[in-house]
C-alpha cells in the first residue's frame, strides 16, 4: 500500500494497521482479507485475531506525499484504510487489537493535522463508532472526508442516516461492492425532497456530497447490473452532486457489450453514459485552508 494506488478515486492508500472483521454482506468476498490471509499468511481477520501494526518508516511516507503536493501546489487524496476499518472496535478480550488500534488512531489524528495538503478519505462500515473514536466533535478538519459503504438498501438506510449527523467537510457513499439497486432519495438534497420538508421548523438535513458505485471483482464475484450505476448517476444529477462509476466488476449482468478487464475497470468498454468519474464540487482547491487540528 503506498503512494500510487490502483483505486481510481484516490491518489494513494495508507493503513494505520492491517486487520478487520466481517460485518455485512459486502464483506463476503473481502479483497483485503484475501490479501492478508491467503497471500501474506497473516492471522489478522476476525474479532479475536491480532492486528498488524505498521513500521515507523511506513508512517513517515505521508509527510513525503504532503511535501510533494505542496511543492506542486496540487492536493492529493489518501484513502485510509484499504486493509482495515479505522472505526472498528474489537471486543475487550482482544487486548492486542485494542492496543494497536488505540495507538494507531492517536498517531493518525496527529498525522492528518500535519499533512494539510492531503485530503484523507476515511471510509467505514461502522459509522456508529465515529463520534466516539474521532477527536473532532463538531469541528472536523478541512482535509478529512468521511464515507460509508452502502452495498444494499438496508446498509444505505442504516449507515447514511448516521453519516449525515457528522459534520465532516465532505461526506460520501461507496455503493461498492454494489449488490442491488439503491434509492438515495432520502439522503440527497433534491428540490423535491426539500419541498417535502419545507413545513418543518428545522432546515432540511444536508445530503451527501459524492457517490461512488462499482461492481465486485475477484473469484466468485456477485453480479453487477450497469443499470444500477445509471440509477446512481441519475440520482446524483438530480441532486446536483458528483457521481463516480469505478468499475463494472468481474460479473456484469444484463450487458450487451464485451468486458475484458479483470475488474471491469476499462472505461472504453463501457456505454458512453456510464463513463462518469467526478469528484465532489465542495472539495477544496489547490491551496489548503488550514494547517490546524480543528480545521479552523
Alpha helices in the chain (DSSP H): 31-33, 56-72, 95-114, 130-133, 153-163, 191-196, 226-239
Query: Which residues does the chain have with pLDDT short of 50?
Result: 1, 192, 195-204, 289-296
CA angle 138, 139, 143 (to 5 degrees): 130
Q: Which uninterrupted H or E stretch holds 147?
A: strand 144-149
Q: How many CA atoms lie within 13 A of 178 on its CB side?
A: 31
* Residue 186, pLDDT score: 86
* Residue 50, pLDDT score: 97
Among candidate residues 48, 78, 47, 58, the one with its CA nearest the CA of residue 17: 58
Task: Compute the radius of gyration of the chain from its Cα atoms.
Answer: 19
249: left (phi over 0), alpha (psi -120 to 50) or beta: left
* Residue 137, pLDDT score: 95
Q: How is residue 6 annotated by DSSP? A: S
C-beta of residue 170 within 8 angstroms of C-beta of residue 206: no
User: DSSP for 87-143?
Assistant: T----TT-HHHHHHHHHHHHHHHHHHHH-TTEEEEEEES-GGGHHHH-S-TT---TT
Residue pLDDT, tens place only, 139-187: 999 999 999 999 999 999 999 999 999 999 999 999 999 999 999 988 9
Residue 188's SS3 state is coil
* Residue 288, pLDDT score: 56
* Residue 287, pLDDT score: 53
- Give the pairing type, strands 52-53 and 17-18: antiparallel
pTM attached to this predicted model: 0.90
Amino acid at each position: 500500500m503506498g503512494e500510487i494506488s490502483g483505486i481510481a478515486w484516490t491518489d494513494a492508500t495508507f493503513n494505520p494497521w492491517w486487520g478487520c472483521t466481517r460485518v455485512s454482506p459486502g464483506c463476503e468476498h473481502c479483497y483485503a482479507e484475501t490479501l492478508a490471509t491467503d497471500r501474506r499468511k497473516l492471522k489478522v481477520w476476525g474479532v479475536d485475531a491480532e492486528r498488524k501494526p505498521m513500521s515507523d518508516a511506513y508512517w513517515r511516507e505521508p509527510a513525503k506525499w504532503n511535501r510533494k503536493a505542496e511543492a506542486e501546489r496540487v492536493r492529493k487524496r489518501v484513502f485510509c484504510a484499504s486493509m482495515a476499518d479505522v472505526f472498528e472496535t474489537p471486543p475487550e478480550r482482544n487486548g492486542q487489537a485494542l492496543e494497536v488500534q488505540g495507538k494507531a488512531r492517536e498517531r493518525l489524528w496527529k498525522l492528518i493535522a500535519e499533512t494539510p495538503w492531503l485530503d484523507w478519505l476515511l471510509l467505514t462500515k461502522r459509522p456508529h463508532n465515529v463520534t466516539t473514536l474521532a477527536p473532532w466533535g463538531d469541528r472536523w478538519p478541512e482535509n478529512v472526508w468521511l464515507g460509508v459503504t452502502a452495498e444494499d438498501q438496508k446498509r444505505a438506510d442504516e449507515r447514511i442516516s448516521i453519516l449525515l449527523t457528522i459534520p465532516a467537510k465532505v461526506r460520501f457513499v461507496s455503493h461498492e461492492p454494489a449488490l442491488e439497486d439503491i434509492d438515495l432519495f432520502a439522503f440527497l438534497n433534491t428540490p423535491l425532497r426539500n419541498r417535502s420538508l419545507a413545513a418543518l421548523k428545522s432546515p432540511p438535513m444536508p445530503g451527501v456530497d459524492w457517490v461512488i458505485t462499482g461492481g465486485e471483482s475477484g473469484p466468485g464475484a456477485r453480479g453487477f447490473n450497469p443499470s444500477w450505476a445509471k440509477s446512481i448517476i441519475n440520482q446524483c444529477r438530480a441532486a446536483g452532486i458528483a457521481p463516480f462509476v469505478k468499475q463494472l466488476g468481474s460479473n456484469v449482468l444484463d450487458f450487451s457489450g464485451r468486458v475484458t478487464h479483470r475488474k471491469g475497470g476499462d472505461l472504453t468498454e463501457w456505454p458512453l453514459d456510464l463513463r462518469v468519474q467526478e469528484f465532489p464540487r465542495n472539495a477544496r482547491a489547490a491551496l489548503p485552508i488550514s494547517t490546524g487540528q480543528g480545521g479552523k
